[in-house]
Structure 1
């Protein structure tokens, strides 16, 4: 029969883990009990309030509306996104680019080509005129398929979102109409993310999450032309003319005395 001291040691070994678990639960409750009025880092960084509406958000008195590009020009050219990059208002632009593997892209292209060719043959048999709405996508799909098979192009899914900021709802509506008119002049078509403004806000934030998922297929050449490698306009109403910006042929009108530091420096060739 074991001695009383050994029984005591055995009971302590069994009771020790139980005591530790109870103490851990007590400590966890203490961590959750935040003193009234105390703030953590998330509380300090968070906004005071958010009002969600069908087509805009109101965050701490700032009105915010997010749009997405739903239609692109048929032909991509150099600088085709200049009008968006140089839009002279308070906007945020977010790009989401995802590569599509050739193994999954080619079967879809084959199916699309078959559908367009069937539609074309049916229209010819019916004596109808085959318009550009059939021939242009068919030629583009065949060309893209051939380039992907030869390894000359890759297929990407791209989503472009534009978030507009304004101090009032009237100003927000005015800037939205101006942006839509500016984009439609370059054959881009934009839509407001109605009833999805929160998802659109999450997609605009630099977190790499595309919760809006308004994607468009582009080849690598067209996708490369969408990146903002051009400079924006430099215009101040109270400034004077300094010259012409050779990147986009816009005027450089600057009031350096309105800046925090009015000093300037000029570089030029000898004899200029």
Structure 2
């Protein structure tokens, strides 16, 4: 008698790709459509003379669905010095030509000359490094109109700081691939920055209300992260819930009780209106009626 022992099913690599991949992809010049989602990648290409610390914070904290990739490719210092020396010679020649012609001084050329000379000094002293920096932002929405509105909103925030972004026209596939968690810079649209301005792009500034332990209380509306908190870790774990009638106070408290029970917390409830009797029965708890004539008493 032949007995077949069932084997556990192991999905192949092809099956996994079919599960993860969207049903269809529409590759338009300025956006992608991945299944039911509209996706658009933009990149930064122009920066002001000075980048203040935290200029990227308001973009990171936007309550929108987006993916951000920041690539910093180191540039050889010797090659950078050679390029800066050539640029200095060009600007110096322009300044001398204007002076010979008796033209009015050009503050922009003079400022550029001073900035390049300062950068050359810091590179020579090893206090700065040069990087080819690429910043790509991929937006995801449910409709095309919403996609364009969010793009306008982000562009307005950038332009208020004299920073300008462009959509990756005819390169949306490359742009989308560049923001996937693969570490591949397929868009290769860079701006040369020294380490000072590059460090101002530090993205990990989002207000985080997540603890290592505790229960889930909700979602942070600023950045869509989870709010996980253990109030018993505080010196005083007391709390009070205020809200208007019908806002969901009882539901929120009951949900906190259920999640606390799941974490092993002992819960005692004084319930004058018998509001929590059903909850106690559902979780196999005990419900006692306490009064002057009841059988149960408090010791």
**Could you say whether these structures have the same fold, taking a TM-score greater than 0.5 normalized by the shorter chain as the test?**
yes
The aligned residue for residue 88 of structure 1 is 63
Q: For residues 205 and 94 of structure 1, what CA distance do their matches in structure 2 show?
A: 8
Q: For residues 178 and 48 of structure 2, what CA distance do their matches in structure 1 show?
A: 24
- 2:31·2:40 contact (CA, 8 Å) conserved in 1? yes
Q: 2:97 aligned to 116, 122, 126, which one?
A: 122
The aligned residue for residue 49 of structure 1 is 24
Q: For residues 256 and 53 of structure 1, what CA distance do their matches in structure 2 show?
A: 45
Computed over aligned residues only, the root mean square deviation of the Cα atoms, in angstroms, reads 2.6
Q: 1:149 aligned to 117, 124, 128, which one?
A: 124
Q: For residues 27 and 113 of structure 2, what CA distance do their matches in structure 1 show?
A: 43
The aligned residue for residue 200 of structure 1 is 175
Q: 1:79 aligned to 32, 49, 54, which one?
A: 54
Per-residue Cα deviation, 1:89-127 (whole angstroms, up to 9, x for no partner)? 111111001111112111001001111111111122222
Correspondence 1:65 to 2:40: yes
- 1:256·1:262 contact (CA, 8 Å) conserved in 2? no
Question: Measured at CA, do residues 230 and 111 of structure 1 come closer, stay the same or move farther in structure 2, by a change above 3 Å?
Answer: same
Correspondence 1:162 to 2:137: yes
Q: For residues 36 and 102 of structure 2, what CA distance do their matches in structure 1 show?
A: 61
Tell me, what secondary structure is at the counterpart of 2:155?
helix
- 2:42·2:136 contact (CA, 8 Å) conserved in 1? yes
The aligned residue for residue 196 of structure 2 is 221
- Gaps of at least 5 residues in structure 2 are 1-13, 209-219, 223-246, 260-299
Give the superposition deviation at 1:155. 0.8
- Gaps of at least 5 residues in structure 1 are 1-38, 237-254, 265-272
TM-score after normalising by structure 2: 0.64
The aligned residue for residue 297 of structure 2 is none
Give the superposition deviation at 1:130. 3.2
- 1:85·1:232 contact (CA, 8 Å) conserved in 2? no
Give the superposition deviation at 1:83. 2.3
More helix by share: 1
Correspondence 1:190 to 2:165: yes
- 1:83·1:183 contact (CA, 8 Å) conserved in 2? no
The aligned residue for residue 112 of structure 1 is 87
Per-residue Cα deviation, 1:15-57 (whole angstroms, up to 9, x for no partner)? xxxxxxxxxxxxxxxxxxxxxxxx6222222221100101000
Per-residue Cα deviation, 1:65-96 (whole angstroms, up to 9, x for no partner)? 00000111211221121222222211111100
Q: 1:209 aligned to 176, 180, 184, which one?
A: 184
